[in-house]
Amino acid sequence: MSKFEILGKNKLYGEIQVLGAKNAAMKMISASVLIQGKVTLENVPDILDIQTIIDILTENGAKISRKEHSLEIDTTNLKERDPNPSLVKKMRGSIVLVGPYLARFGKISFPHPGGCVIGSRPIDIHLKAFRDLGAEIEESDNFYLIKLNKFVSGEIDFRKVSVTATENILMASCVALGTTVITNAAREPEVVDLAHFLNQAGAKISGMGTSTITVTGVKKLHPLKYTVLPDRIEAGTFLTAGVVTDSCLKVASCNPDHLTAFLDVLKKINVELEIGSNYIKILDAKNLGSIDIKTAVYPGLATDLQAPMGLILTQSSGTSRIFETIFENRLGYLHELEKMGAKFKLIDPSQAEIYGPSKLNGAVIQTPDLRAGATLVLAALAAEGKTTILGAEIIDRGYENIEERLRLVGANIKRINR
């Protein structure tokens, strides 16, 4: 177990680099199951969730090696053996192994995937889509056995937009016979990047980035080298660090086009920004105003940036409202912020009123989940005195060496291993 100790109120300065997107890299590593031969992935963050998916595949015979942010993956000798259930349970993202495994081996057995406790997180949309593709599914004791003997192409219509379900169907159908049309598909940049990765490997996918994606099956995919897109959530997280400490901080190597909704909110509450083609710089964040925000599927305000935005609103003058529409239980971090001095009222599990600005003070707090944990680190940077954040490993799931990177731009943060 490790924890962070942070002494707040330092101004941040200079430039912080955004790394590759966790939620794209993980899917591309999974998609490598579809490719015989060497896949080279550049810009892969060194984080626990990525390591978990690497461990699952390596344990079953894949050869994966890392050199800094570059991964070489070869799944040629991957055994027809189910992924290790205890590793699968570690994170929700492991669900994206199902599509590639069905396409390659025609079957997979796995437990209900774990991950952040931010809602009930069912997988019915995935299961229905696999059934629509011809799969037979047996479920017992929270374990699923899925068999796909004969692939049925056609239309897959999601009842609700789902990022990983869209990705699973993309991966399952790109090497199957026939044409599959996905409607109500997710449009998130990570989904688009996965489709580009697959197309570069020889797949025939069109319409990505819109709500209708068409996949025309090909016989096989070939080896490739691909660079993962920048992590828009990490970019938003570091921007929040600049805003809550009112620092002139440049967030570099990101794609501002993927953060439009987040940046629009910042502008509306009076944050002065300089936006370049691949960077965003905070110029001034002194007089923050209140606002009502609502999360939405892309291109709306990302649920993964709801907690950082909630923190910003504790520093804004007046009453703001948050409506979390994607996950039903993602406001728990407010109780931790309350221990530091934030004021809010929970209207229901997905809506809150925030009363700002409130002075934040150091406290001992617990990381509730990945994005909330990163938010608490940012809150500590803005707080008076020392904050101890327990559960640093949860933050390591999605942010590479966050303490070192924040230290390089002026933060006083250290990790204590117990």
- List the catalytic residues: 116
Contact between 87 and ligand EPU by CB under 6 A: the answer reads: no
The answer to whether the beta carbons of residues 346 and 322 sit under 8 Å apart is: no
In the list 43, 153, 164, 240, the residue contacting ligand EPU (rule: CB under 6 A) is 164
- Helices (H) then strands (E): counts for the chain: 14, 23
In the list 37, 106, 111, 119, the residue contacting ligand EPU (rule: CB under 6 A) is 119
The answer to whether the beta carbons of residues 182 and 170 sit under 8 Å apart is: yes
Nearer to ligand EPU, 151 or 298 (CB): 298
In the list 125, 203, 213, 252, the residue contacting ligand EPU (rule: CB under 6 A) is 125
Q: Which stretch binds ligand EPU (CB under 6 A): 6-14, 113-121, 213-221, 335-343?
A: 113-121
Nearer to ligand EPU, 5 or 55 (CB): 55
**For helices 163-173 and 22-31, what crossing angle results, to 10°?**
20
Q: How far is the CB of 387 from ligand EPU (least distance, A)?
A: 22
Quote the tokens at residue 204: 């025939």
Contact between 163 and ligand EPU by CB under 6 A: the answer reads: yes
Beta bridge pairs of residue 346: 352
* C-alpha distances out from residue 257 to 189, 276, 277, Å: 10, 10, 9
Nearer to ligand EPU, 142 or 277 (CB): 142
Contact between 350 and ligand EPU by CB under 6 A: the answer reads: no
For residue 368, is the peptide bond before it cis, meaning its omega torsion is within 30 degrees of 0? no
**Where does residue 7 fall: left (phi above 0), alpha (psi -120 to 50 degrees), or beta otherwise?**
beta
Contact between 124 and ligand EPU by CB under 6 A: the answer reads: yes
Q: How far is the CB of 95 from ligand EPU (least distance, A)?
A: 7
Contact between 52 and ligand EPU by CB under 6 A: the answer reads: no
* Residue among 232, 48, 290, 118 nearest 240 (CA): 232
In the list 90, 92, 187, 250, the residue contacting ligand EPU (rule: CB under 6 A) is 92
Using CB under 6 A as the criterion, what x/- string covers residues 12-31 for binding ligand EPU? Answer: -----------x--------
In the list 121, 294, 321, 335, the residue contacting ligand EPU (rule: CB under 6 A) is 121
For residue 111, is the peptide bond before it cis, meaning its omega torsion is within 30 degrees of 0? no
* Residue among 164, 170, 169 nearest 122 (CA): 164
Using CB under 6 A as the criterion, what x/- string covers residues 353-372 for binding ligand EPU? Answer: -----------------xx-
Contact between 126 and ligand EPU by CB under 6 A: the answer reads: yes
Contact between 232 and ligand EPU by CB under 6 A: the answer reads: no
Q: Which stretch binds ligand EPU (CB under 6 A): 60-68, 77-85, 161-169, 268-276?
A: 161-169
The answer to whether the beta carbons of residues 314 and 334 sit under 8 Å apart is: no
Residue 211 and residue 184: Cα distance in Å, rounded? 5
Q: Which residues of 18-56 are buried (b: 16+ CB within 10 A; e: fewer)?
A: bbbbbbbbbbbbbbbbbbbeebebebbbebbbbbbbbbb
Q: How far is the CB of 14 from ligand EPU (least distance, A)?
A: 26
Residue 110 and residue 87: Cα distance in Å, rounded? 10
Q: Which stretch binds ligand EPU (CB under 6 A): 52-60, 156-164, 170-178, 260-268?
A: 156-164
Q: Which stretch binds ligand EPU (CB under 6 A): 123-131, 136-144, 256-264, 356-364?
A: 123-131
Q: How far is the CB of 100 from ligand EPU (least distance, A)?
A: 14
In the list 122, 141, 286, 417, the residue contacting ligand EPU (rule: CB under 6 A) is 122
Residue 70 and residue 364: Cα distance in Å, rounded? 37
> With contacts defined by CB under 6 A, how many residues of the chain interact with ligand EPU?
24
* Residue among 225, 188, 226 nearest 208 (CA): 188
Nearest-Å Rg of the Cα atoms of the chain is: 21
Residue 26 and residue 257: Cα distance in Å, rounded? 22
Q: How far is the CB of 318 from ligand EPU (least distance, A)?
A: 28
Q: How far is the CB of 115 from ligand EPU (least distance, A)?
A: 7
Strands (E), 167-246: 179-183, 204-206, 212-216, 224-227
Nearer to ligand EPU, 10 or 110 (CB): 110
Nearer to ligand EPU, 23 or 316 (CB): 23
Considering only residues 392 through 411, tell me which ones interact with ligand EPU, judged by CB under 6 A.
Answer: 398
Residues that bind ligand EPU in the complex, under the rule CB under 6 A:
23, 92-93, 116, 119, 121-126, 160, 162-165, 188, 303-304, 326-327, 370-371, 398
